[in-house]
């Protein structure tokens, strides 16, 4: 299993204009990530899906998905990047509208010239308004606009297991619990064997590998915050401290204490 970091993305909106941006092995973080591809061609990889997207378009990677994006041509690659959390509002209609992307970990929305102009206006406002509450409202309205333009496309995704991304989010948010495969399968009214097969086909890794990935990265963050090894092991669902140390060392090449000492030295 390749080690993949959980990034804690910075707030705000970022714009990148460049030529070739190579693909990497992927990363994941605890927020949703929106790419507004203004111009150029983007290759988007999410879990085991890889699609080529022609701008103007919007690509949304769901939280805790393993993803990466890159430009493989020699044209200018112009994009905005925006991170956002799931929103909850009292207005049920509005809440459902801005949650359309939760149907899958990768959402692609081609845009026409008028829609591109509308989004450019929103992103210019995001640059202008620096207050968190203003950016939250603007992001919600961007999602509402996108929900009006979104049509699920068989062109991009001929087959999907729409429940697996919910399993991934549950494992990521409840990483401290030792939920069994049988318990997970029962929640979604499927067999253990189907869950195992769908998860592997959809993500490229087993449930156990994904849970380990989430736990070890959360452990790294806790160690960076000053927590001791014993408390971190317990918080990440490991009753056996020595087993936690073994898994951490396999993932990062150093023990938890060595990792902390290296950070202090730096």
The three-state (H, E, C) secondary structure of 147-208, written as one string:
HHHCCCCCCCCCCCCCCHHHHHHHHHHCCCCCCCHHHHHHHCCCCHHHHHHHHHHHHCCCHH
- CATH 1.10.10.60 residue ranges of the chain are 164-265
* Cα angle 57-61-66, degrees, rounded to a multiple of 5: 135
Question: Are 232 and 241 contacting, i.e. CB atoms less than 8 angstroms apart?
Answer: no
**pTM score:** 0.79
Q: Among 56-70, 142-156, 188-202, which stretch is predicted with the lowest mean pLDDT?
A: 142-156
SS3 108: strand
Domain covering 164-265, topology: Arc Repressor Mutant, subunit A (1.10.10)
pLDDT for the residue numbered 242: 93
pLDDT for the residue numbered 139: 93
Q: Per-residue pLDDT tens for 47-68?
A: 888 888 999 999 999 888 888 8
Q: Per-residue pLDDT tens for 88-102?
A: 777 888 888 888 888
Nearest to 101 by CA among 163, 32, 44, 181: 32
Q: CB-based contacts of 162: which residues, under 8 Å, 6+ apart?
A: 103, 104
Q: Per-residue pLDDT tens for 99-128?
A: 888 877 889 999 999 999 999 999 999 888
Rg (CA), the chain: 20
Q: Among 57-71, 75-89, 181-195, 220-234, which stretch is predicted with the lowest mean pLDDT?
A: 75-89
- CATH 2.60.120.280 residue ranges of the chain are 6-149
- Domain 6-149 is in which class? mainly beta
* Cα angle 22-28-34, degrees, rounded to a multiple of 5: 75
Query: Who wins on pLDDT, 45 or 10?
Result: 45
């Amino acid at each position: 299993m390749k080690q993949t970091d959980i990034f804690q993305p910075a707030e705000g909106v970022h714009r990148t204009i460049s030529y070739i941006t190579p693909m990497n092995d992927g990363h994941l973080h605890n927020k949703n990530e929106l790419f507004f591809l203004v111009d150029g061609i983007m290759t988007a990889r999410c879990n085991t899906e890889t699609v080529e997207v022609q701008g103007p378009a919007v690509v949304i990677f769901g939280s805790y998905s393993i993803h990466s994006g890159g430009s493989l041509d020699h044209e200018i690659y112009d994009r905005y990047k925006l991170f956002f959390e799931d929103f909850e509002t009292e207005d049920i209609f509005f809440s459902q509208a801005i949650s359309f992307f939760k149907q899958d970990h990768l959402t692609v929305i081609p845009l026409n010239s008028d829609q591109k102009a509308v989004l450019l206006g929103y992103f210019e406002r995001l640059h202008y308004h620096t207050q968190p509450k203003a950016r939250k409202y603007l992001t919600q309205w961007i999602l509402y606009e996108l929900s009006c333009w979104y049509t699920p496309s068989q062109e991009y995704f001929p087959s999907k297991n729409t429940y697996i991304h919910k399993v991934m989010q549950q494992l990521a948010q409840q990483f401290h619990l030792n939920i069994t495969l049988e318990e997970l399968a029962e929640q979604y009214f499927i067999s253990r064997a189907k869950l195992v097969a769908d998860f592997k086909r959809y993500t490229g890794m087993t449930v156990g590998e994904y849970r380990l990935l989430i736990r070890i990265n959360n452990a790294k963050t806790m160690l960076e915050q000053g927590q001791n090894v014993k408390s971190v092991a317990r918080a990440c669902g490991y009753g056996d401290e020595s087993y936690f140390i073994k898994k951490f060392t396999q993932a990062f090449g150093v023990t938890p204490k060595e990792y902390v000492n290296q950070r202090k030295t730096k």
